[in-house]
């Protein structure tokens, strides 16, 4: 029986293993490099000790122990520092001390690393001074000791700072991604509410009117329900196509479509009047769309909570500020059907509307009126990026309400 090996996925497996065990692989390669540097020096008889000749097996044992402490340098630096100093004293090898100086700062395992560097530099200078293969000039030994010990420690501090900066950048990136995801979820909830709630409210109202309609009116009401259902599906489909973009859909309803909302509300029995005084030219698309959503939310709430009330819709622009308000009185006669039961109050509509107005640097007010009704008013600056100020801000804070 012949067995075939599939080697197509081997590179990816190796890459994944190298990524997940990157630090361990680096420590193993570093330990191998130090062994290759120290052990052959001992075997060739080029090593020396401050206390005179010692057996080669002791030197090799000390070198192996020093390399072993290198493997735990990320958890604690003291064993490697002590072992590297012992290795330097017994074998004359300064290289392990250089790696120990780098590790104690790069891994941030020694708080006062400058003080710890002093005995390491002193030991390196003493070993270099008694080394028969080098000169006996003390200041040159100090310079070489500083270069081999203090400089790696200083480089370790730079590496630690770089790693900390990378971690901060990654944490900041994750935080920004989470904030963007939260904004996207709020946008989805706001758009879904604005798109669906009004159309469904009109459909429910028309469905309720079927119980009181004559045979001649049934076809008209059924056609209205069908049209609103198709409209809601179309808006949802368009919403899905632009969900990942910040811009408003090209076909988003603007301020000129407010009259259509008023006509729909009147067709369901709501007594509504409209005062429209907005410019047809120069009105930003987002501002016009926000005006439409304010009227839509106001009329939807009236249909659900006060279907027999009288409603006044005002859309006007003065001094660079667009004011849109939907005000209804207390109403009377009792509702024809319990829309509050069929469409329970969620509280998301006004919250999403306030977010929409705030993004345009506007202000949204809502609350009861003196005669027991309810008022919903939005004031939005015409210029993008402008903010309400002066009289507009005072009026929005406590001025006369329409």
Per-residue pLDDT at 194: 65
Per-residue pLDDT at 175 exceeds 80: yes
Find, among 258, 268, 346, the residue nearest to 302 by Cα.
268
381-390 pLDDT per residue, tens:
987 666 665 4
Question: Picking from 188-197, 263-272, 339-348, which range would have the lowest pLDDT averaged per residue?
Answer: 339-348
- Going by pLDDT thresholds of 50, 70 and 90, the confidence category of residue 191 is low
CATH classification code of 176-398: 3.30.565.10
List CB contacts of 364: < 8 A, sequence separation 6 or more.
294, 350, 353, 354, 357, 358, 376, 377, 378
Answer whether 59's CB lies under 8 Å from 42's CB.
yes
> Distance between CA 335 and CA 307 in Å, rounded?
6
- Record the tokens describing residue 50, joined without a space: 């401050």
Answer whether 22's CB lies under 8 Å from 74's CB.
no
Q: What is the mean pLDDT of residues 343-362?
A: 73
- Going by pLDDT thresholds of 50, 70 and 90, the confidence category of residue 43 is confident
Higher-confidence residue of 95 and 332: namely 95
DSSP-assigned beta bridge partners for residue 258: none
Helices and strands of the chain, counted as H and E runs: 14, 5
Per-residue pLDDT at 1: 43
Of 144-153, 223-232, 324-333, which has the strongest mean pLDDT? 144-153
278-296 pLDDT per residue, tens:
887 778 888 888 898 899 8
The structural domains of the chain, with segments of one domain joined by +, span 10-136, 176-398
Per-residue pLDDT at 341: 44
117-136 pLDDT per residue, tens:
888 888 888 888 877 777 77
pTM greater than the 0.85 cutoff: no
Find, among 371, 266, 366, 270, the residue nearest to 325 by Cα.
366
Beta strands in 345-384 (DSSP E): 363-368, 374-381
Per-residue pLDDT at 391: 43
Higher-confidence residue of 330 and 296: namely 296
Q: How are beta strands 321-328 and 374-381 bridged, if at all? A: antiparallel
- Going by pLDDT thresholds of 50, 70 and 90, the confidence category of residue 376 is very high
> Distance between CA 277 and CA 165 in Å, rounded?
55
Per-residue pLDDT at 326 exceeds 90: yes
4-27 pLDDT per residue, tens:
445 555 566 766 666 767 777 877
- Going by pLDDT thresholds of 50, 70 and 90, the confidence category of residue 396 is very low
């Amino acid at each position: 029986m012949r067995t075939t090996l599939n080697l197509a996925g081997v590179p990816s497996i190796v890459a994944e293993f190298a990524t997940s065990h990157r630090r361990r692989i680096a420590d193993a390669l570093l330990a191998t490099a130090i062994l290759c540097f120290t052990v052959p020096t001992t075997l060739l008889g080029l090593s020396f000790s401050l206390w005179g000749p010692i057996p080669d097996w002791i030197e090799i044992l000390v070198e192996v122990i020093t390399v072993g402490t290198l493997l735990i340098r990320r958890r604690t630096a003291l064993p490697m520092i002590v072992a590297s100093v012992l290795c330097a004293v017994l074998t004359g090898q300064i290289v392990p001390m250089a790696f120990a100086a780098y590790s104690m700062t790069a891994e941030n395992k020694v708080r006062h690393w400058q003080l710890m560097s002093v005995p390491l530099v002193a030991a390196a200078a003493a070993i270099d001074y008694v080394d028969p293969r080098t000169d006996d000039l003390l200041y040159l030994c100090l310079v070489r000791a500083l270069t081999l010990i203090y400089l790696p420690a200083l480089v370790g501090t730079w590496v630690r700072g770089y790693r900390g900066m990378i971690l901060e950048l990654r944490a900041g990136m994750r935080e920004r991604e989470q904030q963007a995801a939260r904004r996207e979820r709020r946008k989805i909830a706001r758009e879904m509410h604005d798109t669906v709630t009004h159309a469904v409210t009109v459909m429910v109202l028309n469905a309720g009117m079927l119980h009181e309609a004559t045979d001649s009116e049934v076809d008209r009401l059924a056609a209205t329900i069908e049209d609103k259902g198709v409209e809601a599906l179309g808006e949802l489909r368009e919403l899905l196509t632009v969900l990942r973009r910040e811009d408003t859909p090209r076909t988003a309803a603007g301020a000129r479509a407010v009259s259509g909302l008023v006509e729909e509300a009147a067709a369901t029995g709501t007594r509504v009047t409209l005062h429209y005084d907005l410019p047809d030219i120069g009105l930003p698309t987002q501002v016009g769309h926000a005006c439409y959503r304010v009227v839509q939310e106001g009329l939807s709430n009236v249909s659900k909570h006060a279907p027999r009330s009288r409603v006044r819709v005002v859309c006007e622009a003065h001094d660079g500020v667009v004011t849109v308000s939907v005000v209804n009185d207390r109403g009377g006669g009792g509702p024809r059907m319990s829309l509050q039961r069929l469409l329970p109050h969620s509280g998301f509509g006004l919250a999403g509307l306030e977010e929409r107005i705030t993004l345009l640097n506007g202000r949204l007010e809502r609350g009861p009126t003196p005669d027991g009704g309810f008022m919903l008013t939005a004031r939005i600056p015409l210029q993008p990026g402008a903010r309400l100020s002066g009289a507009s801000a005072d009026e929005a804070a406590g001025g006369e309400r329409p």
